[in-house]
Amino acid sequence: MFNIEENLKKLPNRPGVYIMRDAQNNILYVGKAVSLKNRVRQYFRKNNKTARIEKMVSLIDHFEYVVTDNESEALILECNLIKQNRPKFNVLLKDDKTYPYIKVDVKSDYPNVIITRKILNDGAKYFGPYPSGMAAKEMVDFIKQRFQIRQCRSFKSTKRECLNYHIKRCSAPCTGRISKEEYAKQIEQIIMLLDGKIENIIRQIDLDIKKAADNLEYEKAAELRDKKNAIKQITEKQKVSNISENDIDVIGIAKNEILVCIEIFFVRHSKMIGREHYFFSDISEMDDKEIISGFIKQYYVDKNVIPSKIMIREEIEDLLSIEKWLSEKADKKVIIKTPKKGEKLKFVEMAEKNAKITLENKAENEVNVIEEIKEILKLPNIPRKIESFDISNISRKFYGRRNGSSKRW
């Protein structure tokens, strides 16, 4: 039999991960600690614990732990164990979304630009995430129309141009209508566009316009002018006013008695390219900092593209270890900021306001649905609890009693 007090004495003063289990050996909670000895003992001492933690502790039958060399290793192990086991008392992110990215296969002689939801280690350049397939498609369509790169999925040389060339949707590299160097220049501009370096593209196009005009190629100069105006228009449409940050995710949180809503804004190169929200139940009494910390760890554990900066309202407890983990994962420096004033604070507040509105709308919709159920079923009061039963296993068979006898109908 597992003796909790005896095993608490054996805990090492080392970093690691602890796993709380119930009598059926189900995992209740997974956490990491700089010192396993100090952290795990806290759960079993009389101190100010929330009702949620009190309930969890009451269910603990035994615990186990894994010692790691440092806090970063503990963090990675914690994230993986939560993802694999989905413990009841952890903050659980139910996210089955895969966001679209734009891929430029720069290793190809004549690169293509496509939409993908998988990021591979194939030497290609990936840009995103985009909030929807429609947003990514709009950008790819714009690129293919204005830069006239190839439309075909697989490139092969041929002697005859396809229809896309004749309607000015492709420069026909397959028949040699454009040189590899000129095509590479178009790809370079596309990458600058996707990378937010609009001023560089405009500067290059202006030089090309002047060169075409000097050579009396007025039709080409007019096409370049139209391209420049179109680029300005599509980038201006996405720009977020007063935001000078280049590569950030902004996280806001809102709560009611039942649900927690987290809103995340994606800002890339001063453009807000999308937003997403997530709902969590049964964790409203948790501290905001604990919820945000749990969200960040779960949200980014599967992400291959991570921003250089994440902005939140309050500093979280394990900030340094999370920053180090994200930096190693992204292969660049990633910092988590808690702005106190100025435009950055306003943007965090914007995320929080949107989280609050999203939460209020969800609550209102649910109340309306319950009101409708009350009316349809002619109930005296709004139902507080609804139970459902899976009857798929009985198919169309139903046995009951009619006039005192058992009958199948």
When the pLDDT of each residue in the chain is averaged and rounded to a whole number, the result is 82
Has residue 243 got a pLDDT over 50?
no
Name the token pair of 100: 């679209």
Whole-number pLDDT of residue 394: 65
- Nearest in space to 283 (alpha carbons), one of 123, 107, 88: 88
Q: Where in the chain is the domain with CATH 3.40.1440.10?
A: 4-85
CA distance 206 to 209: 5
Most confident of 47-51, 239-243, 268-272: 47-51
CA 12 – CA 38 distance, rounded (Å) = 9
Q: Is 318 helix (H, G, I), strand (E, B) or coil?
A: coil
Window from 82-86, 174-178, 304-308 with minimum mean pLDDT: 304-308
Q: What share of the chain is helix, strand, coil (3-state, %, to 5)?
A: 45, 20, 40
Supply the DSSP string of 149-160, one letter for each residue. Answer: ----SS----SS
Largest distance between two CA atoms of the chain: 101
In this structure, what token pair is assigned to residue 134?
A: 């429609």
| Cα separation of the two ends of the chain | 53
Rounded distance between C-alpha atoms, residue 226 and residue 147, angstroms: 11
Please answer whether residues 315 and 29 qualify as being in contact, where contact means their C-beta atoms are separated by less than 8 angstroms: no
43, with CB counted inside 10 A (0-12, 13-18, 19+), is: buried
Distance CA 67, CA 74 (A): 8
Residue 304 CB: number of other CB atoms within 10 A?
A: 14
40 or 377, which is more confident:
40
What angle separates helix 319-330 from helix 288-300, to the nearest 10 degrees?
20
Q: Do β-strands 335-337 and 309-311 pair in parallel, antiparallel, or remain unpaired? A: parallel
pLDDT computed for residue 46 by the predictor: 77
List 259's β-bridge partners, or say none.
281
CATH superfamily for domain 4-85: GIY-YIG endonuclease (3.40.1440.10)
> pLDDT per residue over 330-365, tens digit each?
888 999 999 998 878 888 998 999 999 888 887 776
Distance CA 153, CA 143 (A): 15
Which of 19-28, 112-121, 399-408 has the largest mean confidence? 19-28
Residues of the chain with CATH 3.30.420: 240-409
Across 243-257, 310-324, 354-368, 378-392, which has the greatest mean pLDDT? Answer: 310-324
d(CA 169, CA 153): 14
Question: Between 402 and 202, whose confidence is greater?
Answer: 202
Q: What is the pLDDT of residues 265-316, one digit of tens each?
A: 888 766 677 788 898 887 878 889 999 999 999 898 877 778 899 999 999 9
Cβ atoms within 10 A of the Cβ of 388, count? 5
Nearest one of 169, 140, 146, 164 to 230, comparing CA atoms = 146
Percent of the chain with pLDDT over 70: 87
Confidence grade of residue 395 (pLDDT, cut at 50, 70, 90):
low
Element (H, E) at 208: helix 198-214
| Amino acid 239: pLDDT | 45
Predicted pLDDT at 13: 93
Least confident of 228-232, 240-244, 282-286, 301-305: 240-244
Residue 14: its H or E element: none
Q: Which distant-in-sequence residues (6+ apart) come within 8 Å of 27 by Cβ?
A: 19, 20, 21, 81, 85, 87
Q: What is the pLDDT of residue 40?
A: 93
Q: Which residue has the tokens 């007025």?
A: 218
CA 387, 26, 35: angle at the middle one, nearest 5?
130
For 147-156, 240-249, 305-314, which range has the lowest pLDDT when averaged over its residues? 240-249
* pLDDT score for 124: 87
Under 8 Å between Cβ of 131 and 274? yes
Closest CA to 348 of 272, 220, 251, 282: 251
Q: Is the pLDDT of residue 74 over 80?
A: yes
pLDDT bin (cut points 50, 70, 90) of residue 397 is low
Residue 71's pLDDT band (boundaries 50, 70, 90)?
Answer: confident
| Yes or no: domain 240-409 corresponds to CATH 3.30.420 | yes
